A and B are shown apart, each in its own frame.
Chain A
Amino acid sequence: MDCFISFPKLKCFTLKNFLRRWSSPDPKRSVIIISMEFNGKNILCKRGEKEVFSGLSIKLVPGEIIELHGPNGIGKTSLLRLISGISKPTHGTFYWSDGTVSEYPERHFSRITLIGSADALKPMLTVEENLYDWTWLNRPRPERSTIISALRVFGIDALADTPVRFLSAGQKRRLTLSRLLTVETNLWLLDEPTIALDSEAVSLLKKLLVKHCESGGMAVIATNNDMQIQNTRKVNLLSYARSRQHE
């Protein structure tokens, strides 16, 4: 019989803890990429009540890219959601070299950028407003110039004032990816970044990834087709799978 979760002690909830965990980064010091390891130890992930994978440990060294491979439903997206901190793993922990994610969630969130399969864009807002508001969500008040330069890199700065509902899927995907430029974070989590992208955008994304890794950044990419970037480590989740379909 599967035994239930043991009885963890309730961490004392003091104001000091609350303030320490939720102190937003001081705006003067913009977040420089501090080269820092990130790893997770024997993670067990459940989707609903179904076990997806277990006993997975992952180690990320600065300047390294990991590509997650495996058939559909193996848990690539679930692993990205676990790393990003949206959902907590049933067992196992993720930790940076200076503390676990659950102890300092706010510091963890300021070090990652998640580009999910769904573009989180508001159709009625314009391109620039979408990017501006998303950047202000993650960093103290950005300047308009950084937004426009990010759009220019992805070649959609001409559409700055058109509402997003008039954009094509590829343009929307470029707008979502331009978020990587407005906010310098250590860890990029990309979920199927190359869908709906034309070849020019894909090569642009590869160049950005390489530049990001040279400056000490890291990336985890969940994708089905190979990205052909040099020093990427391919991790196949099949060996950790728990579900009947993949055994």
Chain B
Amino acid sequence: MFNFLANPARFNQVTDRLMPATAGLAGLFLSIGIISALIISPPDYQQGDTVRIMYVHVPSAWMALFIYSFIAITSAIGLIWRHPFAHLSAQAAAPIGITFTILCLTTGSLWGKPMWGAWWVWDARLTSVLFLFFLYLGFMALNKAFDDPSRGEKSAAILALVGFINVPVIKFSVDWWNTLHQPASLLRADGPAIHSSMLTPLFLMALGFIFVAVCVLVTRIKVLLLKRRIRLMRINGGKLRS
């Protein structure tokens, strides 16, 4: 599969055909998701209407983690088989991931204020997403830190791999740390089992997010391909080898 998509010309043809479809699907899922999240699903008996923030907060947390594992996998492919296209897609996915992490953190604190009375809550999941944000930042900073882009890609890829091994360790240690310093009386966020009527908007929003991410990822890969091509043309001077 990788070899088929690896040729930029073929990649452009395939994605040009698929792009309108994915964009349409993304819009469809998002609109249905938002409507069902805001209007159709009942308010939670305990938290009232604030549970509606969950429909945005939880999918963006999923997306943040999903995109980081995408980056780690493509980096591993890029390193093992020396595949520059894999490094390119990892570099293209990073800004999307970091936007979803910021979304997750802001909606998390917006949800924490009415629920627990504080903007920032040292909840284990929220803190590990905060460190995931710094892992993304390190990846993007390392990508741009070198004059020679191929050097930057490789060391950022290695950092993505090491970071990926570390995400569960950070999650576990933050959980432990949380139970250590947890003041007893806090209401746990996911106490009540999620009611089935809340699941549908959650998955609709998650699907909407996934399709948006795919669309933006494809566009950003095209942008990076164009940048690479322009850089090569400037260096090799107009003579476009076959």
> Is A–B contact present in the complex under a CB 8 A cutoff?
yes
Cα-based distance from A51 to B235 in the complex (angstroms) = 9
Are A4 and B7 in contact, with the CB atoms below 8 A?
Answer: yes
Cα-based distance from A3 to B236 in the complex (angstroms) = 15
Given contacts A1-B8, A4-B7, A244-B237, contact A49 B83 (CB under 8 A): no
Are B235 and A7 in contact, with the CB atoms below 8 A?
Answer: no
Given contacts A1-B8, A1-B9, A2-B232, contact A48 B81 (CB under 8 A): no
B82 lies within 8 A of chain A by Cβ: yes
Residues of chain B within 8 A of A48, CB atoms compared: 147-151
Residues of chain A within 8 A of B147, CB atoms compared: 48
Size bin of chain A's contact surface: 10 to 19
B2 lies within 8 A of chain A by Cβ: yes
Are A5 and B82 in contact, with the CB atoms below 8 A?
Answer: yes
Give the interface SS of chain B, mostly helix, strand, loop or mixed: helix
B17 lies within 8 A of chain A by Cβ: no
Are A51 and B81 in contact, with the CB atoms below 8 A?
Answer: no
Cα-based distance from A229 to B71 in the complex (angstroms) = 55
A8 lies within 8 A of chain B by Cβ: yes
A232-247 residues with Cβ-Cβ distance < 8 A to B are 242-244
B6 lies within 8 A of chain A by Cβ: yes
Chain A 210-247: CB-based contact to B (< 8 A → 1; otherwise 0): 00000000000000000000000000000000111000
Residues of chain A within 8 A of B151, CB atoms compared: 48
A4, A7, A8, most chain B CB atoms within 10 A: A4
Are A49 and B150 in contact, with the CB atoms below 8 A?
Answer: yes
Cα-based distance from A223 to B231 in the complex (angstroms) = 31
Q: Which of B2, B7, B83, B235 contacts A3 (CB 8 A)?
A: B7
B145-159 residues with Cβ-Cβ distance < 8 A to A are 147-151
Are A50 and B80 in contact, with the CB atoms below 8 A?
Answer: no
Residues of chain B within 8 A of A158, CB atoms compared: none
Residues of chain A within 8 A of B6, CB atoms compared: 3-4, 7
B196 lies within 8 A of chain A by Cβ: no
Q: Closest residue of chain B to A2, judged by CB?
A: B241
A6 lies within 8 A of chain B by Cβ: yes
B112 lies within 8 A of chain A by Cβ: no
A118 lies within 8 A of chain B by Cβ: no
A137 lies within 8 A of chain B by Cβ: no
Are A5 and B9 in contact, with the CB atoms below 8 A?
Answer: no
Residues of chain B within 8 A of A5, CB atoms compared: 82-84
Residues of chain A within 8 A of B81, CB atoms compared: 7-8, 10
- Closest 10 interchain pairs by CB? A244-B237, A48-B148, A4-B6, A7-B3, A50-B235, A1-B9, A3-B7, A4-B85, A1-B8, A2-B241
Interface residues of B, Cβ cutoff 8 Å to A: 2-3, 6-9, 80-85, 147-151, 228-229, 231-232, 235-237, 239-242
Further contacts, 18 of them, CB under 8 A, given A1-B240, A7-B83, A50-B236: A1-B9, A1-B242, A4-B7, A4-B8, A4-B83, A4-B84, A4-B85, A5-B83, A5-B84, A6-B3, A10-B80, A10-B81, A48-B147, A48-B149, A49-B232, A242-B236, A243-B236, A244-B236
**Can you sample 24 A-B contacts with CB below 8 Å?**
A1-B8, A2-B232, A3-B6, A4-B7, A4-B8, A4-B84, A5-B84, A6-B3, A7-B3, A7-B83, A10-B80, A10-B81, A48-B148, A48-B149, A48-B151, A49-B149, A49-B150, A49-B228, A49-B235, A50-B235, A50-B236, A51-B236, A244-B236, A244-B239
Interface residues of A, Cβ cutoff 8 Å to B: 1-8, 10, 48-51, 242-244
